[in-house]
Each structure stands twice: as C-alpha cells, then as structure tokens.
C-alpha cells in the first residue's frame, strides 16, 4: 500500500523536524512516558480560500505531530477538531476517537472548506458545541483543563473580541497561531494571558511544524520516576511533573527526603580524600567541590552526629581541615568552596597512607568508637603503589568509598573500595555526570557495623 502524502510528511517530520525537540521531552515521548493531566483540547483550523491545499496538508501534519505527543485516552487527553471558513464543520468530536491512531487517521481525511474567514463564528461554535458535554467534553472542574488551539492566516470577517472573551470566561485556555499575513492584533484579542505564552507567529505554513516543540512541552509532563530524573535512593513515586521519594520495607526515609536507612542515624567521622592533580583542570575542580557539598547535604552534620574532614592530594598531601572543625552544613560547605587547587601529580598511595596514619587520629578530631568513612576521589592512574595503603585503611576498619572520573583506573578504585565493592566504588567518564554519583552514594552506618568496628577504632586510637 502506498503511504499517503500526509503520512509521509508526518514520518519525515518526526525524524527530521526543523526545530529539534527538547531531548528529555523527546526521550520521554519515545519511551511512552508522557503523561497529561485530564485535558479537553479542540483545534480550530482556518481552511479559508487563502489557505492553499498544500498548506492545509502542512497544518494537518502539525496537528498530527502534536497529537502524537499526547497521552490520549478517556481519562487523560481528549481531542476535537473544528474546521472553519465562512461556515464551521465539526470534523472530530471530543468523544469520537480515544486512540492516537484513530485521531491521526481522522485528521488525514479533513478537507479544506475554501471560502471566507469567520473566526468569531468558529470560536462561538467551539464554545457552544465542541466543548459541550454532548460532544464529549467533561464537566467543568479544576481537575480538567479546557484548551483551544486556533490556527489562522488571515483577518477575521466577523467580530472575535467579545466571543473570545466569553470563551475565556468559560474556562477555555486559548492559544492563537498566526501564519503569513495574519492580523496580529486579532490574535492578541483571541489569546489567553499571558500573551507571550499564548500567541505564536510563523512566516509560512511550511514552518508551522517548528511550533510542535512548544505544544509537546506544554502538554507532555514527563514521568520523572520513569525517566530517571530523580534522586530517590530506593523508591520514586510519580505525580504529574513531580515526584516524591519513599523507602522499601524495613527502611526509613531520612530528613533529606531522598535517602533511606535501615540503620540508626549514628555518629560518623567522614574524611574526603580529593585528587587535586593537574589533569583535573580548574573548571572540573570546581565541579568536584560542588560534588562534595552534594554529599555533605545528605549528612546530618552536627556536634553529636556527622563530622567531616577534607584532605587534598597531588604530588604531596594537604589537610584542608580536620574532623570536627565545622559542625554545621553552612560553615562546612563554605570551607569546601574555599579549597584551592593544588595541581601537579597523582600520588594516591601516599594520600591513602596519610588517611590511615593521620586523618582518623584523635589529634585530628576523630572520635573513639565512631565509625570512620573515607571517600576517595581521583581522575587518573596513581603514580605510586596503592595496594598496601588501601589494604591498611580497610584493616583499620574504615569504610572506604572510591570514586573515579575520566582516566581513573577501575581496578584501582575496586582495590580502594570496601566490600561489597559494587556498593563502594563508582566511575563516570564525565565530570558533569558526578552529580549522579552523589545521588547514588549512600553513607548508611548501622549499629552492627559500629559494634564490629569499635574495637578496631579503639585499638587505632591507642596506636596514635
């Protein structure tokens, strides 16, 4: 079967639109993840004699592409189409088609009326008929949106100001699209406020499809849980355009509204060991500092709970501040922002020895009997041997997380990380993706771990 010209144009437009659709919206649409709040949409399309047949086909392509992005169904989006010139024809009722395929097929069959331009008559028809319950519109409710999208290329031959006002007063949100030599003042008389959001103009019908993006974004609310655009540690519960986090059975949602814990909110000593070598580069080092503060945001920083220290290394090691110096998030995050970039080499082994021998000692603010957590960040291969130092840190009872970016070596990250390594090491090729690691890295300390590590920590204190 030979495809119709409209179907060919539709397929061509979906593959190569002149105005690229927002990637997240496009991805959501492709995956079937678009949701719309219950909406009754009526397209009011001008098919007067000034609209040539080929141009009218382009209008239908535009309608079909917008419909393609909708969550069509009896309880979601219902679509109607009103065709007008000197007379008005109800081409598609809100009650007629409940599937995208049926709607698009109906749109392909619409023929132009090719007479005058009675736009006011068309709006009155939509108000009285197209948006009536008899034609499938739902009862007026704060939960049901009513939307009219008017496409016209000329000056109305009748009055539109008063009838458009009546339609808006009835709760219909009006978008006005003008083409070519359209009278802009009449568009503004028809459209809802704010006009910047509800009035659009294109030079010709050949480029009307560039407005597809606007209406896809207007009516497509992504399921943020399904698209992964959330930072919930365990369970994401979707709502239109938003979400909330929850936890699996046996876990408790933490105060940050994202993290989950089956453990007590116990005292913890956390030390960041940060690679400041020259390969990181200044702009990425700023991203690393933001990443540290993302993790700090998830900790219960206080005198009695989480204490945080910061060490930077390159060819040498520099303590930025010890554990317990800052006992509130604001001061702590400000101190992280002030950290100056060292540059030079990547002596990760030396830095790990410093962590084991110094950072968690009582002289550096560490508390006896408190679980010790080390978070190591690097962007490259170590220039010295890390094996012995990594082993010693874990033998001392430290819970070790390893995070690598760019040229970091995953075998080295795994050697640094505590067991199970899959939960304690992270890698990404791009510094800009570090925010995703911050979302995934969960520092949950259980009482069992505290009891298990207490003797090691006390022995370590005696060593110092």
Residues 108-165 have pLDDT tens digits of 999 999 999 999 999 999 999 999 999 999 998 887 889 999 999 989 999 999 999 9
Of 375, 434, 385, 441, nearest in space to 409 by CA = 385
Backbone dihedral region for residue 98 (phi beyond 0: left; psi -120 to 50: alpha; all else: beta): alpha
Q: Which pLDDT value is given to residue 462?
A: 46
Q: Of 207 and 12, which is predicted with more confidence? A: 207
Q: What is the pLDDT of residue 12?
A: 36
Nearest C-alpha neighbor of 310 from the set 237, 359, 243: 359
Q: What is the mean pLDDT of residues 84-89?
A: 96
Answer yes or no: are the C-beta atoms of 317 and 302 closer than 8 Å. Answer: no
Gap between the Cα atoms of 288 and 256, Å rounded: 21
pLDDT band at 312 (very low <50, low <70, confident <90, very high): very high
Does pLDDT of 60 surpass 90?
yes
Q: How confident is the model at residue 222 (pLDDT cuts 50, 70, 90)?
A: low
pLDDT bin (cut points 50, 70, 90) of residue 15 is: very low
The confidence band for 340, taking pLDDT boundaries of 50, 70 and 90, is: very high
Percentage above 90 pLDDT, the chain: 57
pLDDT of residue 5: 41
Residue 62 has pLDDT above 80, yes or no: yes
- pLDDT for the residue 250: 62
pLDDT value of residue 63: 93
Structure tokens at 277: 């070598």
Kind and range of the H or E element at 39? Answer: strand 39-46
* CA nearest neighbour of 60 among 19, 116, 26, 104: 104
> Does the pLDDT at position 13 exceed 50?
no
pLDDT at 89 over 60: yes
| 16-38 average pLDDT score | 47
Q: Which of 56-65, 68-77, 172-181, 378-387 has the lowest mean pLDDT?
A: 68-77
Give the chain's largest Cα–Cα span: 96
Mean pLDDT of 32-48: 81
Lowest mean pLDDT among 118-132, 219-233, 330-344, 421-435: 219-233
When pLDDT is averaged across residues 65-82 and rounded to a whole number, the result is 88
Angle of helix 329-337 relative to helix 282-297, nearest 10 degrees, comes to 170
User: Of the candidates 405, 386, 420, which has an alpha carbon nearest to the alpha carbon of residue 291?
Assistant: 405
Contact 48, 156 (CB under 8 A): no
Model confidence band, residue 221 (pLDDT cutoffs 50, 70, 90): low
The CA distances from residue 262 to 368, 418, 442, 448, in Å, are: 23, 19, 12, 11
> Does residue 264 surpass a pLDDT of 60?
no
Query: Between these two residues, 343 and 248, which has the higher pLDDT value?
Result: 343
Distance CA 154, CA 162 (A): 18
Give the CB-side neighbour count of residue 163, counting CA atoms within 13 A. 16
pLDDT at 34: 54
Confidence of residue 10 (pLDDT cuts 50, 70, 90): very low
Tokens of 36: 């719309």
Dihedrals phi, psi of 269, to nearest 5 degrees: -105, 120
Scanning the structure block, which residue is given the tokens 């819970």?
A: 399
Q: Alpha-carbon distance 7 to 179, whole Å?
A: 23
Contact 141, 135 (CB under 8 A): no
Question: What's 80's DSSP letter?
Answer: E
DSSP per residue, 119-179: HHHHHHHIIIIITSGGGTPPPP-TTSEEEEEEEE-S--SS--HHHHHHHHHTTEEEEEEEE
Q: Kindly list the distances between the CA atom of residue 333 and the CA atoms of 31, 271, 371, 382, 411, in Å, as whole numbers in the listed order.
A: 39, 14, 22, 28, 31
Q: What tokens does 189 get?
A: 């008389």
């Amino acid at each position: 079967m030979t495809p119709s010209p409209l179907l060919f144009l539709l397929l061509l437009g979906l593959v190569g639109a002149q105005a690229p659709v927002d990637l997240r919206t496009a991805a959501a649409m492709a995956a079937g993840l678009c949701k719309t709040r219950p909406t009754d949409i009526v397209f009011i399309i001008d098919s007067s004699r000034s609209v040539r047949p080929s141009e009218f086909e382009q209008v239908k392509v535009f309608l079909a592409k917008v419909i393609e992005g909708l969550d069509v169904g009896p309880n979601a989006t219902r679509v109607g189409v009103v065709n007008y010139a000197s007379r008005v024809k109800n081409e598609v009722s809100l009650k007629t088609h409940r599937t995208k395929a049926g709607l698009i097929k109906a749109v392909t069959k619409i023929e132009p009326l090719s007479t005058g331009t009675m736009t006011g008559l068309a709006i009155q028809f939509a108000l009285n008929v197209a948006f009536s319950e008899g034609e499938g519109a739902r009862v007026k409710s704060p939960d049901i949106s009513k939307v009219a999208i008017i496409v016209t290329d000329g000056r109305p031959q009748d009055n539109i100001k008063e009838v458009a006002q009546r339609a808006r007063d009835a709760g219909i949100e009006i978008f006005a699209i003008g083409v070519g030599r359209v009278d802009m003042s009449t568009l503004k008389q028809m459209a809802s406020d704010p006009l910047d959001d509800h009035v659009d103009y294109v030079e010709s019908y050949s480029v009307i499809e560039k407005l597809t993006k606007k209406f896809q974004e207007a009516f497509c609310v992504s399921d943020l849980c399904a698209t992964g655009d959330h930072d919930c540690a365990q369970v994401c519960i979707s709502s239109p355009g938003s979400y909330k986090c929850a936890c699996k059975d046996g876990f408790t949602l933490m105060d940050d509204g994202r993290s989950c814990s089956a453990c007590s909110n116990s005292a913890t000593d956390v030390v960041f060991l940060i690679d400041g070598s020259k390969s990181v580069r200044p702009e990425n080092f700023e991203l690393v500092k933001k990443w540290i503060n993302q993790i700090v945001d998830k900790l219960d920083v206080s005198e009695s709970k989480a204490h945080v220290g910061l060490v930077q290394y390159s060819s040498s090691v520099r303590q930025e501040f010890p554990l317990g110096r800052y006992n509130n998030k604001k001061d702590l995050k400000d101190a992280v922002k002030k950290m100056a970039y060292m540059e030079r080499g990547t002596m990760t082994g030396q830095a790990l020895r410093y962590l084991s021998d110094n950072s968690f000692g009582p002289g550096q603010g560490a508390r006896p009997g408190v679980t010790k957590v080390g978070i190591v960040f690097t962007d490259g291969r170590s220039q010295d041997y890390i094996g012995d130092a990594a082993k010693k840190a874990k033998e001392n009872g430290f819970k070790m997380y390893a995070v690598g970016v760019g040229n970091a070596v995953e075998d080295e990250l795994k050697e640094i990380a505590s067991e199970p390594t899959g939960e304690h090491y992270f890698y990404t090729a791009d510094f800009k993706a570090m925010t995703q690691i911050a979302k995934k890295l969960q520092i949950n300390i259980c009482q069992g771990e505290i009891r298990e590590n207490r003797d090691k920590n006390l022995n370590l204190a005696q060593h110092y």
